[in-house]
């Protein structure tokens, strides 16, 4: 069974539901956890409000919204755990989707969420994060070293120059800092948690949005039992590699310890 951490609201519907759908198709059970144990819905601007003339570029794709609809109709989604009630020993892996609207801060700034993530790393279990979800891991410190759990690992996340900042500039006139969750970009903060700048993997210069039919168009970085991706356009690739990782770990449990280096 896999645990998916969600904020109180405002996460990305693609980054959550595409991996959920892939796990469900593979027969892998998923439980959700939210700050207070209440059902949490995705960013409404990405689901139905839209971005006016920019909607075709920035809105969630219909096929992925269909996955999101199925996810929120599931019984597991309707009955999430509270962060405080999570027993990590009951789960074989952790998945953390991203999102950039203000509600994401209830996940990204949660000491309980960081403790959950730390326990998965310490237990050597598979962990996957995409976009702002990687930021939670960057902020999760190992008390034995004082360093982030990402230290010494190769990762990727939302790119500043080609993803976060352009989206902000295109929408700032009427949405203000909607696309800037924090003053510092996600890429900049994640890099500060790494052992070397060379451990940050940007991927192809031109990011192409993947889909169920062409998952290879996406990009993800695997380091041992850690999997990271950049944005919603990577999520079909991310989901496929995550399911493959989980299935491999189930076949050979000895694969797990190399995440807890």
Q: pLDDT band for position 261 (50/70/90)?
A: very low
Q: What is the pLDDT of residue 260?
A: 35
Tell me the pLDDT of the chain averaged across its residues.
95
pLDDT digits (tens, 9 = 90+) for 193-252: 999 999 999 999 899 999 999 999 999 999 999 999 999 999 999 999 999 999 998 887
Q: pLDDT band for position 256 (50/70/90)?
A: low
Mean pLDDT of 9-24: 98
pLDDT digits (tens, 9 = 90+) for 97-143: 999 999 999 999 999 999 999 999 999 999 999 999 999 999 999 99
**What is d(CA 172, CA 176) in angstroms, rounded to the nearest whole number?**
4
* Residue 57 CB burial class (10 angstroms; 0-12, 13-18, ≥19): exposed
Domains of the chain: 2-255 (3.40.50.880)
CA 88 to chain centre: 18
Distance linking the first and last C-alpha atoms of the chain: 23
**What is d(CA 256, CA 190) in angstroms, rounded to the nearest whole number?**
24
Taking phi over 0 as left and psi of -120 to 50 as alpha, with beta for the rest, 194 belongs to beta
Q: pLDDT band for position 255 (50/70/90)?
A: low
Alpha helices in 26-88 (DSSP H): 44, 55-58, 62-72, 75-78
**What is d(CA 231, CA 131) in angstroms, rounded to the nearest whole number?**
5
Note whether 189 and 150 are within 8 A (CB): no
Angle at 16 between CA 14 and CA 17, to 5 degrees: 70
Mean pLDDT of 38-59: 95
Its pTM stands at 0.95
Q: What is the pLDDT of residue 252?
A: 78
Q: What is the pLDDT of residue 250?
A: 87
Q: For residue 226, which phi and psi values (nearest 5 degrees)?
A: -110, 130
Look at residue 28 and tell me whether its pLDDT is greater than 80: yes
Mean pLDDT of 27-34: 98
* Residue 169 CB burial class (10 angstroms; 0-12, 13-18, ≥19): exposed
């Amino acid at each position: 069974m896999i645990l998916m951490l969600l904020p109180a609201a405002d996460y990305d519907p693609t980054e959550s539901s595409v991996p959920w759908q892939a796990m469900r198709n593979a027969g892998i059970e998923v439980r959700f956890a939210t700050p207070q144990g209440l059902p949490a819905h995705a960013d409404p601007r990405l689901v139905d409000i839209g971005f006016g003339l920019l909607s075709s570029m920035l809105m969630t794709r219909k096929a992925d919204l269909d996955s999101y609809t199925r996810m929120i109709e599931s019984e597991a989604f309707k009955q999430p755990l509270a962060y405080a009630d999570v027993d990590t020993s009951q789960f074989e892996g952790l998945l953390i989707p991203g999102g950039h609207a203000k509600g994401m801060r209830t996940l990204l700034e949660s000491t309980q969420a960081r403790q959950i993530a730390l326990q998965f790393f310490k237990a050597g279990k598979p962990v996957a994060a995409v976009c702002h979800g990687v930021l939670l891991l960057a902020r999760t410190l190992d008390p034995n070293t004082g360093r982030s759990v990402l230290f010494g690992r190769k990762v990727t996340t939302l790119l500043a120059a080609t993803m976060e900042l352009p989206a902000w500039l295109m929408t700032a006139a009427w949405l203000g800092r909607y696309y800037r969750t924090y003053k510092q970009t996600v890429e900049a903060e994640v890099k500060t948690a790494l052992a070397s700048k060379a451990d940050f993997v940007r991927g192809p210069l031109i990011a192409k949005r993947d889909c169920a039919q062409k998952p290879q168009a996406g990009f993800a970085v695997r380091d041992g039992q850690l999997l990271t991706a950049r944005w919603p356009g990577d999520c079909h690739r991310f989901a496929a590699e995550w399911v493959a990782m989980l299935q491999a770990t189930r076949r050979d449990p000895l694969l797990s310890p190399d995440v807890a280096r």
